[in-house]
Structure 1
Amino acid sequence: MSGALTTTLNLALFALLALFPPMPRHSSPFNIQFVLGWWINELPVLGLCWLVAGTVGTLVAPRPGVWWLLVALTALDALLLGRIAVRARSARPALSEAFRAVYGPDSAPRPTRPPWWRLVVPIISWRPDVRRVRNRRYGPARRGNRLDVYVSRRRRRSEAPVLVYIHGGGFLIGSKMLGARPLLYRLAAQGWVCISIDYRLLRVGYGDQLADVRAALDWTRANVPAYGGSPEAIFVAGGSAGAHLAAMAAMAPPSEGGAGTEVRGVIGFYGYYGPVGRSEPGAPASPQDCVSPDAPPFLIVHGTLDTLVLRRDARAFADRLRASSAQPVVYAELPGTQHNFDFFQSPRFHAVTDAVVRFAELTLSPTPTTRPTPPTRPTPTTPPTRPTRPTR
């Protein structure tokens, strides 16, 4: 009985922190509400499995004492987990609205259905139809300058789009094996060439990490044709600190370790776009310092309940980018979403992958995709002029 009660109480704590996490005043690299509430927010099905495994033995064999309390707590946990699962469905409408606001009414991402077993076993991203070429070296560092290439075993094509993903971790931890693996495998299965990179983390400055990203992009342009990818269709993406590095690599001048406009688009998940304390004096310390009219198209996806990087910080970067860039900037806030939402094959992240595919389609479309301008209105003091009749 005590073990079952402990299970229900722990699950109630995790679920409540997923639904109603205390929001900090400032963005920070760590807090306890993220650690306890993040995983169950993305994987309520695992919470349900834990609940069943921890309580079914006691529930089917009623004992005197606190058995009714256990029943009530189990029902409460089930309701909380159900609410978390239903809330994840709000991601797709938010993404569709963000695309329509930038590209027009017919631009919403097309819904797709994942295989049912991926939702039942969401921690597995591997696919048999995708080959992972491991540990290609793009620089001199032994471990920090390696990358993996994901290609389809069935759909090999030339001039395929390319996605380069940069992992997060507060510029201190992380690995190319963490983050966005469901996205990498799905795009590779559709014929993309996907690349996930490592970069140096310890005993190096921020400029060295940005130089690693730049070197990885240079390696990609030089070597991706051998895998069927197009050097002219490279998208750079990242999560958290990786989104920061992706934005900097796309917008910073080449002299500062950036790639300029040599990438076709930037995709940022739960990104941190503020200054970095380890940056060198005189060098740009944040993507906000590099915003210019020449910035490439951006897709920025953030959670409303992100307790590590507050949504107001991501929104401020998106607003500044929109005010300066001549290219489309899609900014979507996902209701009820925490940090690290790209780690698992969840319904929420499946909707995000649909948005990434749509963003690439619109960006690579031969039709120019410039940001729509609002219609002009006549000033109150000047009445609108009537059209003149044509002369004969």
Structure 2
Amino acid sequence: MPVGYLISVAVIAAGTLCALAPPRRPRPLAELSFRCGLLLNEAPVLGGYFLLASTLLVFAQRDIGSPGAWAVVGAAALTGAGLVAIARRGLRAAPVLERALAEGLGPDGRAAAGAGPEGRPRHRRRLARALFAPVFPRRRDVERIPNLRYGDAGRRNLLDVYRHRSRPAGGPVLIHLHGGGYRQGRKNTQALPLLYRLASRGWVCVSANYRLRPAARHPDHLVDLKQVIAWVRAHGPGYGADPSRLVVAGSSAGGHMAALAALTPNDPVFQPGFEEADTAVTAAVCLNGYFGPYYGHGAASSPAAHVRADAPPFLIVHGDRDTVVPATEARRFAGTLRAASAASVVHAELPGAQHAFDLFPSARFEAVVDAVEVFADRVLKGR
């Protein structure tokens, strides 16, 4: 029995199973499954390449001669089939997002989602991501200006600016907040393909740290985001930004914060010491966001409690296999928004997507970035 090959296949098989059918209960098992399956759920090709290399090596070494060894080869084949199924689910994100854009923005939104800025089909780029799965989304035409201070909380009040190296003026702004349950996380880790893509298109993108639990609690995090918005209004033009066109976005807990900020513009309760600053935003993007109440603070700390008729447009994207924040929460929040707001609400549930799908430049997240680009373009044009 080739023990090393057995271990390799077992590890990939376990990750594949966690990605295909993650358990939701008990909570510790769901958390473990989420972590074990996250990489393969977004980059199944990496598992496939590893399986293929391991299998070719064991055959080259002539270690396949017993029934047990052939059983491991069979398990590798089954695991490979599971990885193919995962990859196919990832590619289904694009048509789901196109339908959601058509429903929320009109038929032209769906048409634009299928083509790049030069009119070339985007599905080829998504397929390339599925086959080669690069894990480093930086772009040569984008520069990152790190660790700019926007508040008095040390490194938790630092932000990074991403802009095109040609330094164009008057670019729209995207502010992104990381996730981590308000307990962990940092800038420059999540949604990087989104930040780099928009910056390469002439946007000025901002990724910010904020104060975390237990040293901070609600509404401290929201106050930090409001300070970031105020900083962009005051200093953004110096980096080529047009602060009158500002989209706020977030992942997980950052989505919770982004939704709250979008629904509480210029509220002095959340702007202590800078009450006169304009903190209104043009639109909000929530990726695998949490929309419930903050730890022990009651319903008033949830975005749903602040829904209003003049809310800005929202794009809400969630995974239908999310075991950290169930998709029903996003679905419920989107319904509440649609019932009250006069603005566009685009809501999409991605087939097979888990929590934190925006950590990797996968085929699935490429489709999400395409959708964000189309959504933002339509909102900024007032359509």
TM-score (norm 2): 0.90
Q: Does 1:110 align with 2:114?
A: yes
1:234 is paired with a residue whose SS is strand
Partner Cα distance (1:7, 1:47) in 2: 10
Q: Which residue of 2 aligns with 1:372?
A: none
Q: Which residue of 1 aligns with 2:15?
A: 14
TM-aligned CA deviation for residue 327 of structure 1: 0.5
The equivalences for 1:271-286 within 5 A come to 271-277=289-295, 279=297, 284-286=300-302
1:106 is paired with a residue whose SS is helix
Equivalent in 242, 248, 254 of residue 242 of structure 1: 254
TM-aligned CA deviation for residue 99 of structure 1: 1.1
TM-aligned CA deviation for residue 106 of structure 1: 2.0
Partner Cα distance (1:13, 1:229) in 2: 46
TM-aligned CA deviation for residue 23 of structure 1: 2.9
Q: How many residues align?
A: 363
Q: Report the CA distance shift for 1:78/1:25 in structure 2 as closer, same or farther (over 3 A).
A: closer
Q: Does 1:187 align with 2:172?
A: no
Q: Deviations over 1:238-286 (max 9, x none)?
A: 000000000111112512327987111000000000001264x8x9311
1:143 is paired with a residue whose SS is helix
Partner Cα distance (2:26, 2:73) in 1: 38
Partner Cα distance (1:80, 1:343) in 2: 21
The equivalences for 1:1-392 within 5 A come to 1-24=2-25, 31-60=31-60, 61-65=62-66, 66-108=68-110, 109-111=113-115, 112=122, 113-114=124-125, 116=128, 120-154=132-166, 156-202=167-213, 203-252=215-264, 254-257=267-270, 262-277=280-295, 279=297, 284-366=300-382, 369=383
Q: Report the CA distance shift for 1:64/1:351 in structure 2 as closer, same or farther (over 3 A).
A: same
Q: Which residue of 1 aligns with 2:274?
A: none
Q: Deviations over 1:82-122 (max 9, x none)?
A: 11111111101111111111222221113425394796252
2:358 is paired with a residue whose SS is coil
TM-aligned CA deviation for residue 157 of structure 1: 2.4
Q: Which residue of 2 aligns with 1:388?
A: none
2:170–2:241 Cα contact (<8 Å) kept: yes
1:249–1:260 Cα contact (<8 Å) kept: no
Q: Deviations over 1:17-62 (max 9, x none)?
A: 2111123499x99712211112110011211232234333212324
Q: Deviations over 1:303-338 (max 9, x none)?
A: 100010001111111100110011000000111111
TM-score (norm 1): 0.88
Q: Deviations over 1:130-151 (max 9, x none)?
A: 1100000000111110000001
1:303–1:311 Cα contact (<8 Å) kept: yes
2:100 is aligned with what amino acid? Answer: A
Partner Cα distance (1:29, 1:192) in 2: 41
Moved over 4 A (4+): 115-119, 258-261
Q: Report the CA distance shift for 1:191/1:30 in structure 2 as closer, same or farther (over 3 A).
A: farther
1:268 is aligned with what amino acid? Answer: C
1:243–1:268 Cα contact (<8 Å) kept: yes
**Higher share of residues assigned helix:** 2
TM-aligned CA deviation for residue 70 of structure 1: 2.1
Any unmatched runs of 5+ in structure 2? 116-121, 272-276
1:236–1:267 Cα contact (<8 Å) kept: yes
In our comparison, the structure showing a higher alpha carbon Rg is: 1
Partner Cα distance (2:100, 2:161) in 1: 31
**Alignment identity in percent?**
43
2:129–2:361 Cα contact (<8 Å) kept: no
Any unmatched runs of 5+ in structure 1? 370-392
Q: Which residue of 2 aligns with 1:374?
A: none
Partner Cα distance (1:260, 1:250) in 2: 12
TM-aligned CA deviation for residue 297 of structure 1: 0.3
